[in-house]
Amino acid sequence: MLVSKFLLVIMALMAMSVSVLAQEDDAAPMSREDMQTRIEDVRKMKLIDLLQLKDEQVEKFFVLYNSTHSVVLQRLRDMNDAAEKLKRMSRDNDTKLQLQIDAMQKATKDLHAAVEQRNARMKDVLSLHQYGTYLAFEAKFQDELAKVLIKRAKEKGPRGGRRNRD
């Protein structure tokens, strides 16, 4: 019963994603947060499809995945913030620069630790085959996403498929 409710929620998320895709070309661009949410929805849909989770696995998997992946996303934001500060500080004095380099290195280590923890916890609910598929998916997801976005941009042309305004 609980699994079917969970699948219903996933289907609703998919429907919302499709409705966003169906928006008119002239619609305002998505915010960064909306785009990130959409990417995470696509990630979850792909995981459901690739892993072929059994009913008893679905809830356990997504409870662990959602909690550990949110930590990964926060660590990624922290690392990006540290990188941005480092970029802006590149002309500051050496002491401040070294402190920001140290902060960047710590943020990178924290991100890697969060990814390792997420991956280790997934091993508890997946079969060996599913776990291997999961690790390969996570390792390649950003590359595959970038390829899809580049292909889509090329298909739409230099203005992203938008009409000229006269």
At 52-93, the pLDDT tens digits run: 988 888 889 999 999 999 999 999 999 999 999 888 886 668
Domain ranges of the chain: 55-127
Mean confidence (pLDDT) of the chain: 80
C-alpha 16/C-alpha 78 separation (Å) is 28
pLDDT at 149 over 60: yes
Task: Specify which of 25-34, 86-95, 103-112 reaches the highest per-range mean pLDDT.
Answer: 103-112
DSSP 43-111: HHHHHHHHHT--HHHHHHHHHHHHHHHHHHHHHHHHHHHHHHHHHHHTTS-HHHHHHHHHHHHHHHHHH
**C-alpha dihedral, 124 to 17 to 52 to 152, nearest 10°:** -110
